[in-house]
Chain A
Amino acid sequence: MIQLEPGEIKKQRKLVIIWSVTFLVVFPVLITLGLLMRLRQGEDIKIGMDTFYALMTMHGLGMAGTLFSIAFAALWYLIATRHANLNLGVGYLVYFLNIIGGGGLFFATLIGRFGAGWYLLYPLPFKGANWPTWTTLITIISLIILGVAWLIGILHLIYRIAKEYGGFTNLLGWQYLGKKEVQKELPPIVLITTISLVPGVIAFLAGAVWMIIYLLKYFEPTLAFDPLLLKNLGFFFGHTLVNITLYCCVGWVYALLPEFTGRKWKTDKVLVYAWNATFFFILFAYFHHLYMDFVQPLPFQYAGQIASYLSAVPSTAITMFGVIVQLYHSKIKWGIIPLTFLIGIAGWAIGGFSAVVDSTIAVNTVLHNTLWVPAHFHTYMLTGVVLFILGFLFYMSHSKEEQERDKTGKLGFWLFVIGAHSFIAMFYMGGLKSIPRRYSDYSGIPISSTHSTGALLAQIAVVFIGLLLIGLTIMYFSILKKLFRRVANATGTVVSA
């Protein structure tokens, strides 16, 4: 634990509050894009196909980027105020590059109508496109800016914590595996930050290669590249980004939940083994996105399923049982913060199980690119990651006593949870009914039951999106009301101004 001057904490807090407020503005806008898509699929509104796919592209890119960005910002704050000195200038640089990159994506998609989907599957951005070619360039450059921003932020953070904890291998917790006594205790959040962000570096470098190839293709259209290789690069980047967003959030659950249970959560040998194993699963699980590419080398297909299956072992056996140790007979007062963490962990577990099911090649044959896929990732993003983030925002805005008393916040929370799970349930049902994903509408499907079921489920989903938006608005009210009335004390927690 480092000792920072209150002034330094205040400065770091200001950075994370600016970042959080940006998130609070962008997030409902991105939800609205999703709402418009479901309204179109439910045949409640009429929007053009080009608009639909531009919304879809922004919704996907925006959500993945925004959630990672705020997850990283929260980690940054918790590390900077507790475990290592982080350069504030670097933090602001990452934030502003995020704004520029994100702004570029908004411009390319919502103004320029770029609509190649979040994954820009080669060669779609360059072939048969109905959007202006400059939007492709803006998108590529924006993604490069975002990748560079995240690389700078991650490398700085890893460098500083490595310096603080005596070297990189210590960040991986390997000192716990030998017989020597551990000199300096490694907080779980530092271990998890490392395990999450180092694969991120590898993925962002792969993403950089992917985007540089796209730049070459843009400026020299006669060049031809291997679509299977680019598909691998694209999914490795995208899958890893989403995966590590979740793990970043889990990192702060390890750090913050003990503050409410009064039970310390320490690093030990089992935790180190589990998270080091997770490091490899993060890198190899992405292969499950390519099961339907029968020409992908067979060992990669095996690796995809095995890594996806085994990834469930450390996450459930260590983190979820760790949460049980924290909470069981703990006499905890169920304030809004521990609530968001517990229900978020549950969302992660539920989404994780249905993801593991779909990572079975034989199952993927009937579920791949049906609504089952958005079902499982919305489960662990919307009812996992987003709840962790909201928990963090309550942590930044509420004192321990306030979060216990905040009935309005809790009302908003439960409306959000019920709305989100019900909205996602429509995706699961759609998946089981073989409804395709990424369809602007279902009217072209010649099977009447598929068309009508797809539209009906979208109509029902819209109602629940409304409910989750009401819940979110109530929580916003509760967070924003208190966020600006607080300053940091010397330990990084908040006290009344």
Chain B
Amino acid sequence: MDQLITLLVIQTSAAIISFAAGALVVAVVIYLMATSSKEEDKVSVKHKVYKLRGRYFFAIVLCAIILLFITLRLLPYPEFQNKADEVVTVVGMQWAWQMAPGVFNKNISKFSGNNEIDVPVNKNIKFVVTSMDVNHNFAIYNSQGHLITQTQAMPQYHNELQYTFSELGDYHILCLEYCGLAHAFMIGTIHVK
């Protein structure tokens, strides 16, 4: 499945599950309040509720195991990545992004790049992301404003993020880790051609 569609499905599922869980909690609260005027012996209540609790326990453990099994296969980490078609080095700094094609193995202070870069469509791009000063977060947004992927830009470390752009156009990079005064204005652009 296209990476963007997968992410949108994940985001929508997260919203639906959270809303459904919230609605269930509200329903239980209303039910409890509405029925609390009745009186019943605690032993009998305990018996009923504990029976339900047993079922709930197995259901929630089963759900957790199934969800863990499904979601722990969808990890963005290097151990789960494929061979990249192209590599882009990304360096965050207060308060700009610098990007250049290829791997940069020298001292990071000597890196020179641009806050815009061209990458090809439908190619697996590996972003090697680091920082020259403090922590930043390399977050890619599409033109509709969807956050499509991200990784931290951390000094002394290189995080490898892979993404295949399936649509042509301009994608914007925002910083999603607070990095000081102009954090909200640390912008870059990826031109997918």
Contacts and interface: CB of A to CB of B under 8 A. Distances in A.
Given A324-B28, A432-B15, A433-B145, A129 B180 contact: yes
Contacts of B191: none
B190 interface: no
B7 interface: yes
A321 B49 contact: yes
B132 to A, nearest CB: 10
Nearest to B44: A329
Contacts of B148: 366
A107 interface: no
| Most chain A CB within a 10 A radius of its CB, from B7, B14, B45, B144 | B14
B149 interface: yes
Contacts of B184: 49, 436, 439-442, 444-445
A115 B72 CA distance: 36
A325 B157 contact: no
Interface string A167-200: 0000000000000000000000000000000000
B187 A362 contact: no
A350 B71 CA distance: 21
Contacts of A302: 72
A128 B57 contact: no
B102 interface: no
A313 B57 contact: yes
A263 B42 contact: yes
Nearest to A349: B25
A294 B22 contact: no
Contacts of B7: 365-366
B61 A446 contact: no
Contact of A309 (B68, B141, B176): B68
A50 B25 CA distance: 40
B11 interface: yes
A226 interface: yes
B145 A367 contact: no
B33 A123 contact: no
A225 to B, nearest CB: 10
Interface string B167-193: 000001010111111111101010000
Contact of B157 (A228, A330, A342, A369): A228
A32 B17 CA distance: 32
Interface stretch (B75-83, B105-113, B117-125): B75-83
B46 A325 contact: yes
Contacts of B68: 305-306, 309
A428 B145 CA distance: 16
| Most chain B CB within a 10 A radius of its CB, from A298, A350, A366 | A366
A226 B78 contact: no
A366 B15 CA distance: 12
A425 to B, nearest CB: 10
Interface in B33-55: 33, 35-40, 42, 45-46, 48-50, 52-53
B103 interface: no
B10 to A, nearest CB: 6
A359 B57 CA distance: 20
Interface string B158-174: 11110000000000101
Interface string B2-13: 000001001101
A317 B53 CA distance: 6
Given A328-B35, A362-B74, A439-B183, A128 B42 contact: no
Contact of A227 (B61, B76, B143, B154): B154
A438 to B, nearest CB: 4
Contact of A127 (B21, B57, B133): B133
B177 A369 contact: yes
Interface in B50-100: 50, 52-53, 56-57, 60-61, 64, 67-68, 71-72, 74-79, 94
Nearest to B161: A294
Contacts of A227: 135, 154-157
A353 B77 contact: no
Nearest to B186: A444
Interface in B115-151: 133-135, 137, 139, 141, 143-151
B182 to A, nearest CB: 7
Interface of B: 7, 10-11, 13-15, 17-18, 21-22, 25-26, 28-29, 32-33, 35-40, 42, 45-46, 48-50, 52-53, 56-57, 60-61, 64, 67-68, 71-72, 74-79, 94, 133-135, 137, 139, 141, 143-152, 154-161, 172, 174, 176-185, 187, 189
15 contacts: A49-B182, A122-B135, A294-B76, A295-B154, A305-B71, A317-B60, A325-B50, A330-B45, A332-B36, A363-B71, A367-B11, A367-B14, A369-B139, A434-B146, A437-B176
Ordered nearest first, which 9 A-B pairs have the shortest CB separation?
A329-B40, A353-B21, A444-B185, A434-B147, A362-B74, A439-B184, A369-B176, A450-B145, A294-B159
Given A124-B179, A346-B26, A445-B174, 4 more contacts: A334-B33, A349-B21, A366-B10, A438-B183
